[in-house]
Structure 1
Amino acid sequence: MASSKKWATTISSIASFIYFLLILLQIPLFRVPCRAGICTTPLELTSSQLIATKLIPEAAVKTLLYPGAVANAFFNNNALPNYYNFLKSYRFASLNSAPVTFDDLQQIEVLAGSYLSVAGAFVCLVKPGRISLFGTLLIIWGLAREVIMGNSVDSNPGKAVYISPAMSFVLVFAFLCVRKDVRKIFRSCRGRPALKAKLG
């Protein structure tokens, strides 16, 4: 029992850290219309809303976005972005006091899921839980609903709603963040050999 608990804690902690990096470094997970034009990560979608509604200071949003901007520059062999003006590349300049649009309400699941995913990424570093999993599932549900209902049809393929294959990895890590679920997997795996021995 102690061994399974220890393994579950270790796996959950590692999964939480990987999930945190995937969110913070802004690995593209989807493509959806947003206030900034097109958003491809939960943090980008969340930040566009936070800047437009002024819920938190812009400096805090810049601090959240900067690691992803640095990672993006590194992977594309570009110069490191300047902290003071890198937000221009996110097209957030014209978002101040932007009103709520029909698209915002239409994609409420994706927006809510992005908020939960970002919050869960930070919370899971302290105490792994289900917030990340709920956020990821909400995003997938919202994007799938857009595709199924045909709301994602666009004359420009680059603007159509899209779910990246990387989302499946994020979903796995979000699931593994939940320590109780990992322990249930260990218990079920341990129970199978005993069941086979009884049946044999």
Structure 2
Amino acid sequence: MQEILAAVSEWLLPLLIAGIMITGFAKRIPIYNTFVDGAKSGFGTAIRLIPHLIAMMVAVSVFRASGAMGYLIQWLEPVLHFLHIPPEVAPMGLLRPISGMGSLALMTDIFKTHGPDSWLGQLASTMQAASDTTLYVVTVYFGSVGIRKMRYALKVGLLADLASVIGSVLAVYILLGPMPK
């Protein structure tokens, strides 16, 4: 069965591309010209997004470098204790909605310190997989189409990130038991 799944996964993308090209050819669509036009419009979108992305990356860098993350974790200590979120992974839960690379770096640090198969490593992996970079998504998608009023989408996205952190802790607790001391 695994051999079949491996073969399907290797051929799925080339078959999908071939299917798109065959369909375009059958409908007499100029495939190359359509591709080039799409690439041109994508380039314009990328240029419009650059200021939004730079602003977000600078804000994340300043937040981490200033030590504000440490102060925020100390301030949130009672809430983290109530939700059974270990302080070692709390920065990852806070940074994940802002920066995928920043949270990945924190997860790598947890792996180096505690090991990827440790309770904290499993929790960090689950948190990384269960959440998304909400601010990046809002910046890219809303910025690319010029939406300025994103208040409700941001609230819902951050609430979903909080639910993913709590759900990750709950899932790891159910599957692995309580965190060893």
Q: TM-score, normalised by structure 2?
A: 0.24
| Structure whose CA Rg is larger | 2
Normalized against structure 1, the TM-score is what?
A: 0.22
Greater per-residue strand proportion: 1
Structure with the bigger percentage of helix: 2
